[in-house]
Amino acid sequence: MKLLRYGPIDHEKPGMLDADGAIRDLSGVVGDIAGDALTPEGIATLAAIDPATLPLVDGTPRYGACVGAVGKFICIGLNYSDHAAESGMDVPKEPVIFNKWTSAICGPDDAVEMPRGSTKLDWEVELGVVIGKPGRYIDEADAMAHVAGYCVINDVSEREYQLERGGTWDKGKGCDTFGPIGPWLVTADEVPDPQALRLWLEVDGHKYQDGTTATMVFGVAEIVSYLSRFMSLQSGDVISTGTPPGVGLGQKPPKYLAVGNVMRLGIDGLGEQTQRVVESRA
């Protein structure tokens, strides 16, 4: 299944994509693509529905983030060895964990705002993993049973804030609009091997990133198991698993985003995103 949320900001409704690519309204079945709806039982209930029996959504509404009421937005850094090299950092011996604040979450085609004073705004296409079955101390062999599905994430980053201002990376990762998620949550049964997905990103038509999840240092199962040692994972938590090489920081010379630039990115089978960079609204 391809699950989604559509409609105006802060008023999104749950939906499902049918076989023809049309949106079907799920609001008569679930309140949101969130929480209990993402557990194995919730996913099974949705999978049993014939999309043709659901109301057809007219027009081309805005896509919201494909998961609602996200409790944790957890990110893994330097998870592709060639990206670590272009960043001038060592390949980590254990997963590098940082966070995006949930206020960073936005729709896949919403504008990305350049924060006041920003000089080094950057892009990162990433595979998103959405937790379905909650758990703690999850064995790696059981980890995939805790995954509800997968999505596209742009880990938008401000490199000066992240790397030059002291403290943790989080301040350069969690600004408003720095977390486009979607367009769809593709359930795990439709992604037989999350370590065999092509992911790519272009800016103004020039392709900068073109990689595969096969080259991740730590795979999805290992990441889920590892994180569960340090926190409980709950239904609807989102994990962004790292980016392949080709970010602006790694260009020679480095290249950063400017107002008016358009990012387009995607992952095979999981959909595409498009964001224009705009001035901060406030």
Contact 107/62 with Cβ under 8 angstroms?
yes
Going from N- to C-terminal start, the domains of the chain cover 67-279
What is the residue type of 47?
A
- Cα distance between residue 7 and residue 218, in whole Å: 35
The model's pLDDT over 77-132, given as tens digits with 9 standing for 90+, comes to: 999 987 877 778 788 999 999 999 999 999 999 999 999 999 999 999 999 999 99
Q: How many Å is the Cα radius of gyration of the chain?
A: 18
pLDDT value at residue 23: 98
Contact 113/280 with Cβ under 8 angstroms?
yes
Contact 89/212 with Cβ under 8 angstroms?
no
Say which CATH superfamily domain 67-279 falls into.
Answer: Fumarylacetoacetase-like, C-terminal domain (3.90.850.10)
pLDDT value at residue 167: 85
pLDDT value at residue 166: 87
Listing DSSP states for 162-206 in one string gives IIISSS-GGGGT-STT-EEB-S-EEEGGG-S-TTS-EEEEEETTE
Query: Which of these, 197, 24, 20, lies nearest to 3 by C-alpha position?
Result: 24
Of all helices (H) and strands (E), which one includes residue 227? helix 220-227
Residue 161 sits at φ, ψ, to 5 deg, of: -60, -40
Residue 42: CB atoms within 10 Å = 18
CA dihedral 57, 59, 64, 67 (to 10 degrees): 30
Query: Which of these, 266, 282, 1, lies nearest to 132 by C-alpha position?
Result: 1
pLDDT value at residue 91: 85
Residue 65: CB atoms within 10 Å = 27
The two structure tokens encoding residue 129: 């993993």
Given a cut of 50, the residues of the chain with pLDDT beneath it are none
Residue 67: CB atoms within 10 Å = 30
pLDDT value at residue 214: 95
What is the residue type of 139?
D
The two structure tokens encoding residue 164: 């030059």
pLDDT value at residue 83: 80
